[in-house]
Structure 1
Amino acid sequence: MNIFFLEKLRKIYKSLGKKEKEINDLITFKKFKRNSINYKISDHNFNLENITEQKIKFVAAITFYYNESKIDNLIQACKSLGEITSNSEIYIFTNKNSELLINRCKENLSFNVNFEIINQPVNDRLLPWYHVNLMKNFFKRTEITHFIYLEDDILLNKKNFYYWINSRKILKRFNLIPGFIRTEKNFVDSKIYAIDFIKKNKIKNLPNLYLNKTYNFINHHYPYQGMYLYDRELMKEYLFGPSSNPDCGHGAYKIDFLDTRMINLDLMAKANIGLTYMNIPEGFYNRLVTLYNKDLKKIDKACCIEHLSQRYSNEESSFGNINLEDALS
């Protein structure tokens, strides 16, 4: 076979490769449509303002690659966690034993935070994975109801937490997890951007769950959120399943869990992707769903978490270019 025909074949196969994801997504959506009658919930008492649980006790772990200029964001993230409930424990995993960091936290926080100093990690990029052992230890304590892992510039507030708790009650029967959207404010146009959306998603092409006349849960293509929040059931699934292994997603780890979406994540990002691509229900692209407000025709603010560094929407980047109001349309 001469070079001319080989080149032609190469281009054809390359073109087919580009279409593979679109075809796979179409197949997934067709499977959802086939079973869509099972995803109408009709919960008219859905509440975003408070929770009925009396014994919430969470542990939060934050990875902080030491950088003096980022301490203010870290403190702001800790403050917001402390406002959710006083019955919590916060651990900061950092690669430097810094008196400045410890003193700044003491001066600005009305509660204690714990520091885990990993000053000689095997590699700095493994620092985010040290939180897994913390979860293992706290899982043994039955009074711990939830575990939160965050990057150091993620602001999770009380309304976000309430949204997750109340949505999880509804979604667990479908093996789905409430998701968050990282947002930033652009300093030029003052608009809010859904920074992890590379393209706008058309709702008509996405799996969704009817909740009531105001809300739907939408399963979109960009579930990265820079954090995760798990109850004990999800903690158990994570700790005793493949996703707590940094190699998960690679065929070399186990061919059954080969997933290009995880391969394309760097080692640090994989530390917070958790169960996103594990045990996905048939007809869904991933495990996370987002609350959509049909009255306002946009993602509800209850599931929007602020990315405090505000860097993607204010710098030249492939991220941070999709307005929150246009992300799902």
Structure 2
Amino acid sequence: MLEDFRIAVFITFAFRRERLHYLFQVLRSLGEFPVTRMDVIVFTNTVDTDAIESIQAFRANTFDELKSLQIVSVDDLEHPFDLTWAHKPYLKQCLRDQQKDFTHFIYMEDDLRFTYSNFQYFVCSEQELRQHGLIPSFVRFEYNQSRATICLSDHMHPQRMAGKKHVDLHGVSFMNSDYPYIAMFVMTRSHAEEHLSNPSFDKEGSAGSHGWWIAERAAMGITWDNVPTGYTSRYVVGFRDNLPVPQAYIHHMPDNYTNDYSEQRKMLAKLTPGEAFQR
């Protein structure tokens, strides 16, 4: 049975042939969403016909007739990271498209496996959290080969859970992660309207919201806009027994940070969920 969701998805893909398989997995996961409409737009920095066709060819093996795939080539970038901002005008266009009447908007980088279970977790908690000015969010994980377990991609230090302000919904406690960056966002129509009206929608203006770099700011959405008193950001993650609920985990498929123990990367993605979130 189809769920009556109409989703616009924007994906940043800096073309590298050896990374096409990640993009394929992203599209395959999106293709499993049982929704009435999904329009996916991939933004890439190549104008090479063969390269673009290699992306477009994925459609036949991932999407049904209710889903579309569009490739947008962006070759006039001042900086390579500016590709992450190419989706903003399209987000505005999709929000204003009265015929398609999208219910949700997703931005993501090209190597995140975002599942329908992730989306349902967002939908099921968003309306109740909205009453508190909060937005359900996620944690990224990678598989650490030497430890044979998962580690959190974006957590560099443990955080204490005791005393954190939270909202309890149906046995799940929603509270801030100290590291809210997840390289993506999910928005409702009201979130998107808010985003368009705030400095976070502009590459230069967003620098005043937070000191993240260009690509990170493109994915922050309204993380730092209108933060409720007692919280550090709008984004809250669902926890049960001091661990994120399973539906809140998003796989960063390359698993590259957790398995890199070089001096430069030694602190990235080395904490398991139990090590990252402490009582």
Q: How many angstroms does 1:183 deviate by? A: 0.5
Cα-to-partner distance string for 1:72-123 (whole Å, 9 max, x where unaligned): 0011011111211352010100000342452342454344411001122233
Q: CA shift at 1:201, angstroms? A: 1.0
Partner of 1:66: 15
The separation in 1 between residues aligned to 2:189 and 2:17, in whole angstroms, is: 34
Matches within 5 A, 1:93-242: 93-98=43-48, 99-103=50-54, 104-106=57-59, 108-111=61-64, 112-142=68-98, 143-212=101-170, 214-242=171-199
User: In structure 2, how many angstroms separate the alpha carbons of the residues matched to 1:228 and 1:152?
Assistant: 13
Q: Is the 8 Å Cα contact of residues 185 and 221 (structure 2) preserved in structure 1? A: yes
* 1:269 corresponds to: 216
Q: Which amino acid aligns with 1:319?
A: L
- 8 Å CA contact retained: 2:3, 2:34: no
Match of 1:247 among 193, 204, 215: 204
Deviation at 1:273, TM superposition (A): 0.8
**Identity %, equivalent residues:** 24
Q: Which amino acid in the other structure matches residue 88 of structure 1?
A: M
Q: Which protein has the bigger helix share?
A: 1
Partner Cα distance (1:247, 1:298) in 2: 36
Q: TM-score, normalised by structure 2?
A: 0.90
Asked if the contact 2:206–2:217 (Cα under 8 Å) also holds between the matched residues in 1, the reply is: no
Alpha-carbon distance, 1:146 to partner: 0.6
Q: Aligned partners of 2:206 and 2:80: how far apart in 1? A: 21
Report the Cα distance in structure 2 between the residues aligned to 1:249 and 1:268, rounded to whole angstroms.
11
Per-residue displacement from partner, 1:221-279 (whole Å, max 9, x unpaired)?
Answer: 110011000000000000121110112354xxxxxxx45xx21x111111001111111
1:177 Cα offset (Å): 0.5
SS at the partner of 1:80?
A: helix
Larger radius of gyration: 1
Pick from 8, 24, 32 the counterpart of residue 75 of structure 1.
Answer: 24
> CA separation in 1, counterparts of 2:205 and 2:272?
32
